[in-house]
Structure 1
Amino acid sequence: NLKALPEGAEIRDGERLPVAVKDMGACEIYPQTIQHNPNGRFVVVCGDGEYIIYTAMALRNKAFGSAQEFVWAQDSSEYAIRESGSTIRIFKNFKEKKNFKSDFGAEGIFGGFLLGVKSVSGLNFYDWDSLDLVRRIEIQPKAVYWSDNGKLVCLATDDSYYILSYDAEQVQLAKEHNQIAEDGVEGAFDVLGEVSEVVRTGLWVGDCFIYTNAVNRINYFVGGELVTVAHLDRPLYVLGYVPKDDRLYLADKELGVVSYQLLLSVLEYQTAVMRRDFATADRVLPSIPKEHRTRVAHFLEKQGFKQQALAVSTDPEHRFELAIALDDLTTARALAQEANNPHKWTQLGEAASSSNNLQLAKECMQRAQDYGGLLLLSTSSGDDKLVRTLAESTATEGKFNLSFLSFFLLGDLNKCLEILIETDRL
């Protein structure tokens, strides 16, 4: 029990937690699957063609019956079972509410915001209340993970996973206008991403899908971006995420429990950005530690919010690149001065030239010692003083070709002759 851990004790990522094992008693069937309902009050054990629902804390028998499979709905009081045929029964408050046979057959069922029924031809989503077909999808997932708000779903197959958004309003409109096709409502789902990774176990925190994969990594997917949390030395299985601890808890096959830090503030910020809720994002930002802000800034940049990324990032290199991309030459100049790097001055000089800021372009080229650029700038702008300065400085540095050309453009033939004599080119 995590509550029994010493308060204030330092927990290291990947370190086995000293969690006491509590014997809850014997089960009357051989359990093949164990699932808590969404509010955690009940737990169901399924196996040997039967299921038993227990109270989670005291493990008291609450309900039982025959079933090949058992799934909970998003509503904690509702669940479905699949019998040996293709009959699916829906229960509410432990009483059978409805039953039906899928037209496409039933090889498996999935719980969550919609009732998923897997068949040979794909996956069918049904409304829990009306049992109307919402959408038929030609994917055969091995697992379906719904976000808490029911707006996002992950379909995990044998070799990849898909992130889809679900639009309940579109479904409602289609019902009202009687626009439901044979395969359900066309606009019910949108594909947000497809990732060629095998999901071992996963869960949603806000709009972030956190999972362990087949190559022993903890990753999370948010807004099309894949973030690696940790590399593991053995297969681990996600138990849950505890927001107040900022930690993701996992278990191995030996029942060892480990945890990894995953800042809720970062997940909340990314979720707010995905929902375009910048008021919430701005409120959450101060709680994100400075060392994590550049990662958040990269996320913002990938979502197309470069201005916000510039404000959030703490990495000078990243901020300079963003300032150049945004044509924010004032910020870029300040960052270039801090770094005093010729490459940065060259980059800024090019940006200044493109923006027709010749004064800044001149300063950048001088600092970067870009003599070719200075010659082009001075001649095109008719700046004879700059040409003379360039001629003299390049002569001092032994860049005689540029010096000769500069003096020649100024009509100073005596200087040109001196250079030819000095370089033995007469």
Structure 2
Amino acid sequence: MTDNPLLAMGQAAREASFSLLGLGRRQKDALLAAIRDQLLNDQYSIIAANAIDMAEANAQGLAPAMLDRLLLNEQRLAAICADIDTVIGLPDPVGEELESRLLANGLRLSRRRIPLGVLGVIYEARPNVTVDIAVLALKTGNAAILRGGKETLHSNRALLKSIHAALLSQNLPIEAVQLIDSPDRALVTALLQLDQYVDMLIPRGGAGLHQLCKEQARMPVITGGIGICHMFVDKAAQLDKVVELVVNAKVQRPTVCNALDTLLVHAEVAEQVLPLVQAAMVEHSVTIKACPQALPLLPGAQAAGADDFDQEWLGLTLGVKVVADVNGAIDHIRAHSSEHSESILTDDMATANRFIAAINSAAVYVNASTRFTDGSEFGLGAEVAVSTQKLHARGPMGLTALTTYKWLGLGDYHTRS
């Protein structure tokens, strides 16, 4: 071992990952059940630790969106445990044979799923992510090194204590899930250099964190989780159903990455749609930032600034723009989207197919809310992140996204000619 704490964590995580390699599905599911039970047993101490984080965050004036992400209560812990049950019920992808072929020389060649090894995950005010990552990593035989934000420190320590107790109850090394529990930012930079032990890095935070990781990380980085999400109301949409979808996408939980940021409306139906949308937004205390063409139809709305359509609002603000047609919507999305989630409302399937083909975001919906881009909603259980890049994994990252594969060649003492 070394005196460098990050190197020591990396070495321990690598060794722990070897211990996980031999576990079958039954053993992994027993471990996940132990984590669930331990979290429920410890819920009051976890909520008490979270209360300390919430008090400190309030004293520091954290934004309401961050406070909402930080909060843990009995209901949210119950939801976290329900997600664990979902993951328990999912097939274990490790060991799955992806393909098999018999070569002309008689060699049987196949690809088989294996764990990635050690995951490094950096995230901010979401203590639930601590459990999500631990559960998904362990189900796929991966170890994890976690670095939550300083605002989640007490919550994460309490959650990790429960996870470690569950690991010990199953005779597994606690180093399979480790937490960098110092707020020292230098340790983030040190983690980015730990490519000898960390196989993949996942940043879950703002654009600055993502850029730092892309520039300095020595290991592969999965980026995502920044959502500038759009919904386009086509002239062929069922206009009596538009408001319900807009309210769901914008208001149900406005602080998350799949919440609606910009509403695009076909010019031919703007006079019918926008007053109805505004009435609903006023009812839910949503501020509207509108383009010049939309402003006359939205009394009380604010004029959109130069950068407003490039904002992930993470709160009760909605951008609104009138566009000429589906091509105008596509052009706007291409210029301003983070390639997270986009939706079109239309009963014209030719228009829907044009939208689907032209939009390259990780999730594209027809007549549905953007709020569905979520590991639980997709039937993946919890998620490690929502990837918006194009290699390895896209959209909500569940179990299979935490695996790679190896080639297996089965021969009969074959030699290459």
More strand by share: 1
Larger Rg: 1
Please classify the TM superposition score into its range, dividing by the shorter chain length. under 0.3
TM-score, normalised by the number of residues in structure 1: 0.22
Q: Which has the higher contact order (CA 8 A, sep 6+)?
A: 2
